[in-house]
Structure 1
Amino acid sequence: MRTFKRLAAAASTLVFVLIFNFFLFRAVGDPKQDLARNPKLPKAAQEAIIEQRGLDQSQWIQFKRYVQDTLSGDLGHSFVTNRPVLQELVDALPDTLLIVGVATVLASILGPWIGLHAAWKRGRARDTLLTQTSVVLYSMPIFWLGMLLVAAFAQAWPLLPTGHATEVGSTATGLAHAADVAKHAVLPVATLTFGLLAQYSVNMRSSAISTMQEDYILTARAIGLTPREVRRRHIARNALLPVVTVIGLNLGFVLGGAITVEALFSWPGLGTLTLQAIQGKDYPLLQGLFLFSSAMVIFMNMLTDLLYRRLDPRIRD
């Protein structure tokens, strides 16, 4: 029953986003006026596009058509490229998944590990060093962190490329292509990893310190368990629960919102696609991107909640 209620809540939120999505981009601009200001389109072509896309109809008719098309998987066509919006998203998604996925895995492993060891050495030099470093990274804007990495590893020590997913004009295939992509992905992945790692480390440290004060931790120490066993079997498992929530929620936000990182490194993913859509006032593409990003946040929120119930039996009751 609780699972059904959670699914129903997620579905109702997605319906609200669907409705809000339609009116949001018509409140900030009129597609017909933007087409009329395009000097490259003759009057006849403008009228044909407006009629073809139903922009000459009333708002209500446009809304009904929008809902029907969206539910059938048709997100419309881009104003700029005239390609299906869904195809634009599908083409850009793998590049974003690559850097976001690798960064999330690295940050999810290293962040909690750093936070746990900082908590275990609370008040000592190791704790001070790890915690202060994490706080500095946590408070640093992601684009500024990326610029520092560019200055260090692309200018001071020119070891890594700073733009695109491959060398411009490259025709490499197979392992050579994979190596080229991996080399270009190092700086974007490092930027996202450091930003996420810092947050997970700070959260894990706070959660671990709270867990270490529980009675069962004192009992585990009293019965003769080694410090390593106490950390691994009792502290880490219980302290990870709040961090899992943060990781799950962050994945939805980062996947849809890696605009600054992709723009900084000219990485051809959803972030760059969003930037191009904003610059070109591509309303159908912006609607598709907003809907996809919102759906990802809602889905990850729901999945995290369900996973949390599996990890912590106390929540089920």
Structure 2
Amino acid sequence: MQVSMTAEATPSLVEDAAATGPAKSGPAGAGRAPRARTTTAYLRYVAGKLVGAAVSLLAVLVTSFFLFRLIPGDPVKFMTGGRPVSAEQIAAYRREFGLDLPMWQQFTEYCGKALTGDLGTSYQFHVPVMDKITEALPNTLVLTGTSFLLYTALGIFLGTRSAWRHGGLGDRLNTGLALTLYSIPSFWLGLLLIIVLSVGAGPVPGLFPTGGMESGGKEGFAYIVDVVHHLVLPVVTLVAVEYGQTLLVTRSALLDEMGSDYLTTARAKGLRDDLVRRRHAVPNALLPTVTLIFVNLGRTVAGVILVETVFSWPGLGGLFYQALSVPDLPLVQGLFFVFASAVILMNTLADLLYPLLDPRVGR
């Protein structure tokens, strides 16, 4: 690999040196010019990605406003609790939340406030949307952050093992189980775990809480143990459903690398098979996995709506489901914008990291 990469890089270096002209002479000058051109190319690459991210965020802002106004339901009826109210009271509610304004004026006010960090006031909670998001965000990070670390590590470990011994019994079992679990709906698996391990089935007693984040009335270390106890089933659900994707991507990328000449050279030098895998094959195969890791990291902020709803976990996903049922338009719009922004941000960071992992990207 070293020889082939050098051979590919040589024409580029010659062209870079020729393009810079005779302004630099000698070995030092010849070395600085290609580096300067490489830095310029990377900065252009970064600028392009940042502009693309900004355009995507603007598109999300527009989409979040119009999309959720297609949801059937009248927020004013929810705010009145179904009680008989006069036309004057309904008009007062509409004026209070700006629902009496023309659609274009509602949209311009929404965009203007969103750009300053003001996502409006929740219809059902009567507090700023950002306050509700800030309140629920730590709970989501506890659940999905723990799950993310576990299923990423498990997927990479089993994916590399399966690829390195592809075709064997372990590979077939790992791949088959990963495909099976990845195809199972997360809410169905969560309900199944609640029935078996929370309610109890046959000789199996109920071992874990059916939902929530805590039992209440506990402090200090007892509180941490209680939260962990509530955390087990939703984490197991997320890990079981999500690890298969990381496993399959890692396995496929490593299989593509296994026929490369540099691995044959490494083995010919007498390196142990384990070192060849860890030091040479796996680092070169991780680029697709890095993309998936960053995408999943963005989803960590968004949470998993169905799992949080099934387990009554007080995070962003459960809050989104609750707001959607009203519909609480400011809260739904704000959560949707936060979810999409997290994914866009993580994708952009992955794009910016690529050239550091593979210098051929972005040139």
TM-score exceeds 0.5 = yes
Q: Tell me the equivalent position of 2:20.
A: none
Q: What is the CA–CA distance in structure 2 between the aligned matches of 1:141 and 1:3, rounded to whole Å?
A: 37
Q: Tell me the equivalent position of 1:7.
A: 50
Please tell me the root mean square deviation across aligned C-alpha atoms, in Å: 1.9
Q: 1:211/1:183 Cα in 2 relative to 1: closer, same or farther (>3 Å)?
A: same
Task: Say which of 287, 296, 299 aligns to 1:241.
Answer: 287
Q: Tell me the equivalent position of 1:139.
A: 183
1:12 is paired with a residue whose SS is: helix
User: 8 Å contact 1:248–1:301 — kept in the other structure?
Assistant: yes
* Residues 268-296 of structure 1: per-residue CA shift (max 9 Å, x gap): 11111111111111111111111111111
1:89 partnered with 2:133: yes
Consecutive unaligned residues of structure 1, counting only runs of 5 or more, are none
Q: 1:34/1:23 Cα in 2 relative to 1: closer, same or farther (>3 Å)?
A: farther
1:313 is paired with a residue whose SS is: coil
Q: What is the CA–CA distance in structure 2 between the aligned matches of 1:131 and 1:26, rounded to whole Å?
A: 43
| 1:68 Cα offset (Å) | 1.4
User: 8 Å contact 1:309–1:315 — kept in the other structure?
Assistant: yes
User: 8 Å contact 1:32–1:55 — kept in the other structure?
Assistant: no
Q: What is the CA–CA distance in structure 1 between the aligned matches of 2:161 and 2:84, rounded to whole Å?
A: 62
Q: Tell me the equivalent position of 1:308.
A: 354
1:62 is paired with a residue whose SS is: helix
User: 8 Å contact 1:112–1:240 — kept in the other structure?
Assistant: no
Residue type matched to 2:71 in 1? V
Q: What is the CA–CA distance in structure 2 between the aligned matches of 1:232 and 1:304, rounded to whole Å?
A: 22
My pick for the range that moved more, 41-50 or 238-247, is 41-50
* Residues 146-200 of structure 1: per-residue CA shift (max 9 Å, x gap): 2333334222342221200001xx2211211111111101111111112221111
Q: Tell me the equivalent position of 2:259.
A: 213
Q: What is the CA–CA distance in structure 2 between the aligned matches of 1:89 and 1:266, rounded to whole Å?
A: 16
Q: Tell me the equivalent position of 1:162.
A: 210
The 5 Å alignment of 1:1-317 reads: 1-29=44-72, 31=74, 34=77, 38-40=81-83, 42-43=85-86, 44-154=88-198, 155=200, 156-167=204-215, 170-317=216-363
Q: 1:152/1:220 Cα in 2 relative to 1: closer, same or farther (>3 Å)?
A: farther
Q: What is the CA–CA distance in structure 2 between the aligned matches of 1:41 and 1:221, rounded to whole Å?
A: 81
Q: What is the CA–CA distance in structure 1 between the aligned matches of 2:211 and 2:132, rounded to whole Å?
A: 21
How many residues were matched structurally? 315
Q: What is the CA–CA distance in structure 1 between the aligned matches of 2:182 and 2:78, rounded to whole Å?
A: 43
Q: 1:192/1:36 Cα in 2 relative to 1: closer, same or farther (>3 Å)?
A: closer
TM-score (norm 2): 0.82
Consecutive unaligned residues of structure 2, counting only runs of 5 or more, are 1-43
User: 8 Å contact 1:111–1:200 — kept in the other structure?
Assistant: yes
Q: What is the CA–CA distance in structure 1 between the aligned matches of 2:187 and 2:100, rounded to whole Å?
A: 41
Q: What is the CA–CA distance in structure 2 between the aligned matches of 1:174 and 1:32, rounded to whole Å?
A: 41
Residue type matched to 2:97 in 1? R
| 1:301 Cα offset (Å) | 1.0
| 1:261 Cα offset (Å) | 0.5
User: 8 Å contact 1:31–1:283 — kept in the other structure?
Assistant: no
| 1:33 Cα offset (Å) | 6.3
| 1:219 Cα offset (Å) | 1.1
| Runs of 4+ that moved beyond 3 A | 27-38
2:214 is paired with a residue whose SS is: coil
| 1:254 Cα offset (Å) | 4.7
* Residues 2-24 of structure 1: per-residue CA shift (max 9 Å, x gap): 11110111001111111122122
Residue type matched to 1:194 in 2? A
| 1:232 Cα offset (Å) | 0.4
Q: What is the CA–CA distance in structure 2 between the aligned matches of 1:268 and 1:282, rounded to whole Å?
A: 17
Residue type matched to 1:164 in 2? G
* Residues 49-87 of structure 1: per-residue CA shift (max 9 Å, x gap): 211222212122211211111112111111111111111
User: 8 Å contact 1:161–1:183 — kept in the other structure?
Assistant: yes
User: 8 Å contact 2:303–2:315 — kept in the other structure?
Assistant: no
| 1:298 Cα offset (Å) | 0.8
* Residues 90-132 of structure 1: per-residue CA shift (max 9 Å, x gap): 1111111111111111111111110101111111111112121
| 1:257 Cα offset (Å) | 4.8
Residue type matched to 1:91 in 2? E
Q: What is the CA–CA distance in structure 2 between the aligned matches of 1:188 and 1:9, rounded to whole Å?
A: 35
Residue type matched to 2:147 in 1? A
* Residues 201-228 of structure 1: per-residue CA shift (max 9 Å, x gap): 1111111111111111111111111011
